[in-house]
């Protein structure tokens, strides 16, 4: 937590402008290549990050993304020659972020040899891999599952973890050192395996694109097919990284670790720039969207449920004892009260505590951001507005007011109208307000 409740901004935000940076919205190009490795229903454009870093960062600065997600911030910071740290609570997405190392194409021959060695080791053990105790067995037929588990265990046994880079080791809090932070190479091979899982797994999508369901109708793949797909995935990922690194003369160090934005694993005043996008209030279930990957890592269904409950913005009630706080600002408290008194079904019993959880977590995350930012540090936070029935939720304004209450300098530095929005998956929402307008805001903070 902050050492005091109020920070003292040391620079007028009017001296900084993000009005001319690239839009945060991703284009079609950023749904292919490295961006197609994984399912992800948020994120922002690489050029937005590059432009924002050109405005906010200087050589030698350390960049942080406390909701690292698909890893765009750490990827672009590496390309721009800035050391960066990503923190992500979802272990599957943390691995994907850790795997996007632009140094890998330089040693691609060695990586391919290691991949072939992994397959040979997996072939020797494939018939010995018990699957009956694995919760992932619900999602994959027995034959491909045995091969997937054999490769997973070969990766764990044969690919070593490496010490934290010096720039991370110097600022990681003591309690965070006890967690396993896989090496980028181990993350790379596990990410390749995840893509094979998505090819041979027996599941389908629900009505919400973040929900997936088991589906026994998928034909089973042979172990040989799984091994072939793994090698193909490794080659394809290396090609994607080579394309992403094209034109980059040198790259910086980065590290992605599992951690919580509400309790960052970093010491005080060690970060210069934050570029991030927190979960929105659109009830996207990020943990469920990567359920097969998490189960393949060895999570039980119970552990996955606990992760789901731990994630900010998850659509499950965890704590009914949360009270509104003045620090959330007027716009937030007016919205929360409108939800609590709304006449629609479950407004008070379900949606009200869900929003209280979200804003409590947002406040905690902003406090942590203030704790780890150096004096004169900056943060650019991308958020989108939404609606609860007929009540508009101006999330960008809420983050501005909440950050101001906590002592940041804060403003909406850029606003765009959003045409495609996750809220559109609920077709019944149109009965409350016709022609709803949604905004994507870039909130600029200064400590």
pLDDT of the residue at 131: 61
pTM of the model: 0.91
Cβ count within 10 A of residue 334: 12
CB 294 within 8 A of CB 287: yes
Q: 374-414 pLDDT, tens per residue?
A: 999 999 999 999 999 999 999 999 999 999 999 999 999 99
Question: 442 forms bridges with which residues in the sheet?
Answer: 382, 414
pLDDT of the residue at 7: 41
- Domains recognised in the chain with CATH numbers: 13-318+365-446 (3.40.50.150)
**What are the residue ranges in the chain where pLDDT is below 50?**
1-11, 424-425, 427
pLDDT of the residue at 189: 98
Q: 409-443 pLDDT, tens per residue?
A: 999 999 999 876 555 445 455 555 567 899 999 99
Contacts 24+ apart (CB under 8 A), 422-431: 422/41, 422/280, 422/282, 422/284, 423/282, 423/386, 423/387, 425/207, 425/208, 425/209, 429/387, 429/389
Using CA atoms, how far apart are residues 233 and 110, in angstroms rounded to an integer?
15
- The phi and psi torsions of 121 (rounded to 5 degrees) equal -65, -40
């Amino acid at each position: 937590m902050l050492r005091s409740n109020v920070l003292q901004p040391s620079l007028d935000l009017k001296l900084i402008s993000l009005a001319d940076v690239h839009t945060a919205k991703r284009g079609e190009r950023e749904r292919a290549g490295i961006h197609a490795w994984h399912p992800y229903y948020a994120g922002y454009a690489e050029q937005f990050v590059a432009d924002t870093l050109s405005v906010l960062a200087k050589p030698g600065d350390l960049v942080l993304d406390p909701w690292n997600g698909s890893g765009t911030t750490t990827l672009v910071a590496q390309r721009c020659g800035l050391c960066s740290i990503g923190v992500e609570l979802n272990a599957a997405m943390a691995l994907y972020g850790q795997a996007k190392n632009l140094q890998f194409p330089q040693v691609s021959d060695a990586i391919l040899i290691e991949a072939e060695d992994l397959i040979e080791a997996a072939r020797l053990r494939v018939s010995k891999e018990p699957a009956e105790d694995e919760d992932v067995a619900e999602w994959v037929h027995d034959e491909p599952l045995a091969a997937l588990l054999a490769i997973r265990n070969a990766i764990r046994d044969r690919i070593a973890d490496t010490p934290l880079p010096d720039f991370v080791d110097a600022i990681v809090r003591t309690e965070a050192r006890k967690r396993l932070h896989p090496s980028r190479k181990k993350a790379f091979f596990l990410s390749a395996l995840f893509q094979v899982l998505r090819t041979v797994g027996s599941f389908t999508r629900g009505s919400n694109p973040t929900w997936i369901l088991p589906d026994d109708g998928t034909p089973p793949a042979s172990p040989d097919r799984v091994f072939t797909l793994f090698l193909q995935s490794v080659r394809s990922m290396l090609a994607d990284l080579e394309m992403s690194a094209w034109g980059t003369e040198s790259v910086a160090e980065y590290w992605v670790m599992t951690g919580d934005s509400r309790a960052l694993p970093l010491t005080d005043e060690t970060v210069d720039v934050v570029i991030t996008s927190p979960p929105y209030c659109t009830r996207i279930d990020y943990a469920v969207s990567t359920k097969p990957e998490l189960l393949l890592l060895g999570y039980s269904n119970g552990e996955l449920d606990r992760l789901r409950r731990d994630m900010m913005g998850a659509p499950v009630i965890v704590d009914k004892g949360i009270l509104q706080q003045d620090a959330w600002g007027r716009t937030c408290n007016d919205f929360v009260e409108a939800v609590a008194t709304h006449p629609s079904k479950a407004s008070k019993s379900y949606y009200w505590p869900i929003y209280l959880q979200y804003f409590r977590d947002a406040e905690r995350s902003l406090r942590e951001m203030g704790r780890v930012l150096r004096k004169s540090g900056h943060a650019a936070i991308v958020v989108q507005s939404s609606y609860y029935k007929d009540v508009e939720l101006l999330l960008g304004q809420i983050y501005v007011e909440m950050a101001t209450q906590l002592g940041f300098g804060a403003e909406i530095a850029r606003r765009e109208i959003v045409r495609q929005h996750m809220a559109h998956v609920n077709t019944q929402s149109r009965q409350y307000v016709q022609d709803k307008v949604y905004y994507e805001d870039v909130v600029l903070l200064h400590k």
